[in-house]
Amino acid sequence: MEFLYEYGLFLAKTVTFVIAFAIIMVLIVVASVKNKTTKGELTIENLSENLDLQKKQLLSVALDKEAFKKFEKSEKKKSKEKNTEEKNKVFVLSFKGGIDAKEVESLRKEVTAILQIAETNDKVVVKLESGGGVVHGYGLAASQLARLKQAGLELIVSVDKIAASGGYMMACVSDKFVCAPFAMIGSIGVIAQLPNFNKLLKKNNVEFEQITAGEFKRTLTMFGENTDSGREKFKQELEQIHALFREHVQSARPELNVEQVATGETWFGTDALKMGLVDAIQTSDDLLLSLNEEFELYMVTYQNKKGLSDKLGIGASTVLDKISEKILSKSKELYH
């Protein structure tokens, strides 16, 4: 009897565990399906309110009580006037592009959202940072910015750090292009590089076969033996892309001597201004402060919601990071 009791208890625990595990798996499947259909989220932040709040907080400490009361009265009066006379808007976007230009997916949604509500006298500021990347990705990103101009909105691009190659392809589309004094600007050029392992394969008696239809379906390869004709064709393709890049810049900035700057070089902001690559030297902070005097500023951001797999991945990496930190801290203790 005692054996049967223990066996029954064991069986009950096992069944409970299996049921619990099954429920967890069902919840995971349901959540993953839900995440597949979940779209991203557009967030709007009132930058003008944030700037006004920062100013108020600082003055509450810097001014005496009487002076601060006067300031508050003045602000209340301005607030009433603001309610009667609505300001035009400045929509602020932030684009920090990588080599693959995947950020263009969010940019296109942000631009579309703005175009649905923007009025003729509104402006768009793009805080841009990118060292360039794939041609098709940055070409699309530049086209997204061009949509704003085509809609009659003034487009201002502000660069604090770098707008090179594909980054400059985007920035030059603007009506006004400002940058910080030491921002890196330019790199109107094209580069492509890849390793070739053909000699290594031959050395180890490894054959590589590649079958194509069309003389130049594949000009250069990583594993096959490259030919002079293939290299020449590949170089021609790069030159063609470079020519399109130059035409794009010349169309966007007609006064610019493109042949002088389309060498693949980059210039710091102050020199870029002399070359005609930018219109003014100004940080994004000063730009927004100046615009805040006449406009209401709104930061527009589109973010894709993270799926379950992403969340689980983040959770696992966090645990591994903590374990690594503990191991490293222990090793340091041993050495010291």
Using left for φ > 0, alpha for ψ between -120 and 50, and beta otherwise, residue 299 falls in beta
Which residues fall within 8 angstroms of residue 227, CB to CB, at 6 or more apart? none
Using left for φ > 0, alpha for ψ between -120 and 50, and beta otherwise, residue 302 falls in beta
Lowest mean pLDDT among 31-40, 174-183, 284-293: 31-40
Reduced DSSP (H G I as helix, E B as strand, rest coil) percent helix, strand, coil of the chain, to 5: 55, 15, 30
pLDDT (mean) for 214-237: 92
Please tell me the predicted confidence (pLDDT) of residue 67: 81
Query: What whole-number percentage of the chain has pLDDT above 70?
Result: 78
Please tell me the predicted confidence (pLDDT) of residue 75: 75
Task: Specify whether 217 is catalytic.
Answer: yes
Q: State yes or no: pLDDT of 33 exceeds 90.
A: no
Among the listed residues 165, 174, 187, 284, the single catalytic one is 165
Domain boundaries, the chain: 43-60+87-187+265-304, 189-254
State how far the Cα of 152 lies from the Cα of 185, in Å rounded to an integer: 26
Please tell me the predicted confidence (pLDDT) of residue 307: 60
Q: State yes or no: pLDDT of 71 exceeds 90.
A: no
State how far the Cα of 144 lies from the Cα of 106, in Å rounded to an integer: 11
Q: What is this structure's pTM?
A: 0.77
Buried b (16+ CB within 10 A) or exposed e, 234-265: beeeeeeebeebbebbbebbeebebeebbeee
Please tell me the predicted confidence (pLDDT) of residue 330: 43
Q: Tell me: the pLDDT tens digits for 120-131?
A: 899 999 999 999
Q: Tell me: the pLDDT tens digits for 186-206?
A: 999 999 998 999 999 999 999
CA torsion sign for 169, 171, 172, 175 is: positive
CATH of domain 43-60+87-187+265-304: 3.90.226.10
Among the listed residues 203, 217, 274, 332, the single catalytic one is 217
Q: State yes or no: pLDDT of 334 exceeds 50.
A: no
Please tell me the predicted confidence (pLDDT) of residue 1: 55
Secondary structure (3-state) at 271: helix
Q: Tell me: the pLDDT tens digits for 244-278?
A: 999 999 999 999 999 999 999 999 999 999 999 99
How far from the centroid of its chain's Cα atoms is residue 233's Cα?
33
Please tell me the predicted confidence (pLDDT) of residue 270: 98
* Residue 19: C-alpha distances to residues 6, 25, 26 (Å): 20, 10, 11
Pairing of strands 88-97, 123-130: parallel
Torsion angle in degrees (nearest 10) through CA of 329, 330, 331, 333? 90
Secondary structure (3-state) at 300: strand
pLDDT (mean) for 47-58: 90
Task: Specify whether 94 is catalytic.
Answer: no
pLDDT (mean) for 27-50: 74
Q: What is the residue-averaged pLDDT of the chain?
A: 85
Question: Which residue did the predictor score with more confidence, 64 or 157?
Answer: 157
Please tell me the predicted confidence (pLDDT) of residue 63: 82
* Residue 318: C-alpha distances to residues 324, 327, 328 (Å): 10, 14, 15
**Are residues 150 and 120 in contact, defined by beta-carbon separation less than 8 angstroms?**
no
pLDDT (mean) for 72-86: 69
Torsion angle in degrees (nearest 10) through CA of 138, 140, 142, 145? -140
